[in-house]
Amino acid sequence: MPEREEHKVPAQDVPVRGDDIRLGQFIKLANLVDSGGAAKEAVAAGRVTVNGEADTRRGRHLRSGDEVVVLDEDATPIAAARVVTGNGGDTSGDSDDDDYFDEATADDDFDPDKWRNL
């Protein structure tokens, strides 16, 4: 494992909604691989580490602070990301949503059944 320390890739912080996210979803969200199929293949081949340990469970739940690293065939790190849950310290998204929606402009007569099967 000392080889992995020498070739360390800086981990980018990737904010996620909620308290956790599954490993396969996070790999795609963080753009650590090109596709969902590549994520599935990398995890199954044991080329993904979570907090320094190989993990082959795509459904593993990641929590804030977990660091995910994708390795190439030679076990050299090629991409890394860190899970940031909640709003990730970015409150601008929440305030923008509040500013965009105004109770006074809401259409109280909206009927969802009318639009259901369009």
What residue ranges define each of the domains in the chain, with the CATH number in brackets?
2-88 (3.10.290.10)
In 1-118 the beta strands, taken as DSSP E runs, fall at 12-15, 20-22, 48-50, 53-54, 61-63, 67-71, 77-84
Least confident span in 2-6, 54-58, 75-79, 99-103: 2-6
The model's pLDDT over 76-99, given as tens digits with 9 standing for 90+, comes to: 999 999 999 875 444 444 444 455
**pTM for this one?**
0.67
The model's pLDDT over 3-50, given as tens digits with 9 standing for 90+, comes to: 444 468 899 999 999 888 999 999 999 999 999 899 999 999 999 999
